[in-house]
Every structure is written in C-alpha cells, then in structure tokens.
Amino acid sequence: MKNIIESNYKSIVDRGLISPKTTKRDFILKLEEEVQEFIDAALNSNGSESEELADVILVCLNISKHYGINIESEINNKIRKNFNRSVRSI
C-alpha cells in the first residue's frame, strides 16, 4: 500500500495539482468532485464506476499522505473496531 500511496502522490505533485499550499478545502472540493463522478457513473451504469471509485480512493490516499496520516494503520484499526462491533452484536 505504501508504494501506491507514494507513487500516486508523487504523480499528482509532479503535475502541479498538489503543493504545500494545497488546503484541506482544496482536498475536500476534489473529493466531492470525484464522489459525484462516481455517483453519476454508478447511476448511469456507463461502465466507468470502478475507475471513478478508484479516483475517490486515490484522493483519500493523497489527503492522508499530505497530512501525515498513516492510513494503512487507521484502516486496520477501523477493521478491528468494526469486527469487535459485529462480535458484540451477536
């Protein structure tokens, strides 16, 4: 996962789309744009929903990289929490 995060972030930085001046608002607007594209693709069944979903995920990974969030650790923690919730509800 680390290689995916690093290479994706670098490619976006190299294109000038992320810089030290990129704000949380900039990231949120980009995420909102990509989520809307995913919704449109999924509802229109035009076959591009998987690509649009990948875009949503990549934006999230860029946010985590930009702000120093160890997203792999956070995902694993969340999976454990969800698992524990399901075990307790049985």
pTM value is: 0.88
Q: Any idea what the Cα angle at residue 12 is, between residues 7 and 13, rounded to 5°?
A: 95
- CA-wise closest residue to 52 among 62, 63, 42: 42
- 11-68: pLDDT as tens digits: 999 999 999 999 999 999 999 999 999 999 999 988 899 999 999 999 999 999 999 9
* Domain residue spans of the chain: 2-88
Q: Which CATH code of 3.40.50, 1.10.287, 3.30.360, 1.10.3470 fits the domain covering 2-88?
A: 1.10.287
Q: Is the distance from CB of 65 to CB of 47 less than 8 angstroms?
A: no
Residues 61, 4 contacting (CB under 8 angstroms): yes
What's residue 89's pLDDT? 64
- Residue 85's pLDDT is 86
Terminal Cα distance for the chain, rounded: 32
Residue 15 phi, psi (nearest 5): -80, -5
